[in-house]
Amino acid sequence: MAEEPVGCAKPTGAVIGEDAASPDKSMDKPKEGESTMVMARVGGKAPDFQAPAYHKGKFITIKLSGDFTFV
Amino acid sequence: MLSVSTDSTFVHKIWEEEELSKMTKSGIPWPMVADGAGNLGRVYGVYDEGNGVNIRGRFLIDPDGVIQAMEVLTPPVGRKVEETIRQVHAFQLVRKTKGAEACPAGWEPGKPTLKPGPDLVGKVWKVWQPE
């Protein structure tokens, strides 16, 4: 959870991992209307993401698979 | 634990400092994640495209990264944290017993669990009754 520099941009989060299987997109275009996103569902793997966050006075970047804490 | 909304980290900072820290003694101890573009909300099924916001959703993810429970409500009604905690206790018990025990409807910590198997089929009434 590294601290992030503050700028004027409005940073947002992104889902990660979905493009790993297909580095050359022109060779493997998804059909029209077909989604490559893995949707969240019970019993399935939680879609991983990386996103900016505010935490105890600091602006940080958090990654679900890396910074996750358990109860 | 973490929270996610379409508000920016700047909004989260002011919300925490000016309001939330006055509702709880310790303030908000978990990271408040910014999802301004709705990228997270879309894959978790809570992003409202028309209004540009994430609607109320709660997801319980186990140590293997598997979603065990989700609860999504339309805006006018809030969730109940005690119910979330009950489910966390139930999933922890199921995980600890490697599925040998299950938690029936209305289960609370300390109450009897079910032991799924051939002996239980048709005999649930002997060990569990609805309240």
Is A32 contained in some domain?
Answer: no
Report yes or no: B90 and B108 within 8 Å, Cβ to Cβ. Answer: no
pLDDT on residue A69: 58
Q: Could you read off the pLDDT tens digit of each residue along chain A, which spans 71 residues?
A: 778 777 777 788 899 875 444 444 444 554 555 556 789 999 999 999 999 999 999 999 999 988 765 44
Give the other-Cβ count within 10 Å of A13's Cβ. 25
CA distance linking residue B97 with residue B3, whole number of Å: 29
The distance in angstroms from the start CA to the end CA of chain B is 32
Is A61 contained in some domain?
Answer: yes
Written as six digits, the tokens of B126 are 């002997």
Is A27 contained in some domain?
Answer: no
Instruction: Say yes or no for a CB contact (<8 Å) between A39 and B45.
Output: yes
pLDDT on residue A20: 42
Task: Identify the segments of chain B with pLDDT beneath 50.
Answer: none
With CA atoms as reference, the chain B residue closest to A53 would be B33
Top-level CATH class of B3-82?
A: alpha beta
pLDDT on residue A36: 62
Written as six digits, the tokens of A60 are 């940080």
pLDDT on residue B131: 76
Is A42 contained in some domain?
Answer: no
Considering only CB atoms, B36 lies closest to which of A12, A38, A39, namely A12
Residues of A in contact with B88 (CB under 8 A): 71
Is A30 contained in some domain?
Answer: no
Query: In terms of Cα–Cα distance, which of B18, B43, B88 is closest to A51?
Result: B43
Return the exposure string of B90-115: e unless at least 16 CB atoms fall within 10 Å of the residue's CB, then b.
bebebeeeeeeeebeeebeeeeebee
Q: Where are the domains of chain B?
A: 3-82
pLDDT on residue A68: 66
Is A63 contained in some domain?
Answer: yes
What is the ipTM metric for this complex?
Answer: 0.86
Is A71 contained in some domain?
Answer: yes
A58 beta partners:
A55
Is A40 contained in some domain?
Answer: no
With CA atoms as reference, the chain A residue closest to B28 would be A56
Query: In terms of Cα–Cα distance, which of A37, A2, A40 is closest to A17?
Result: A37
Residue range B54-66, pLDDT digits in tens: 999 999 999 999 9
Considering only CB atoms, A42 lies closest to which of B13, B27, B67, namely B67
Determine which of B5, B15, B39 to mutate to test the interface with A (most A C-beta atoms within 10 Å). Answer: B39
Report yes or no: A60 and A52 within 8 Å, Cβ to Cβ. Answer: yes
Mean of all residue pLDDT scores within chain B: 94
Domain tally, chain A: 1
Q: A64 is in which domain, residue-wise?
A: 1-17+47-71
% of chain B beyond a pLDDT of 90: 86
Rg of chain B over all Cα atoms, to the nearest angstrom: 19
CA distance linking residue B1 with residue A70, whole number of Å: 7
Taking an 8 Å Cβ-Cβ cutoff, which residues of chain A contact chain B?
1, 10-15, 37-49, 51-57, 59-60, 62, 64-65, 67-71
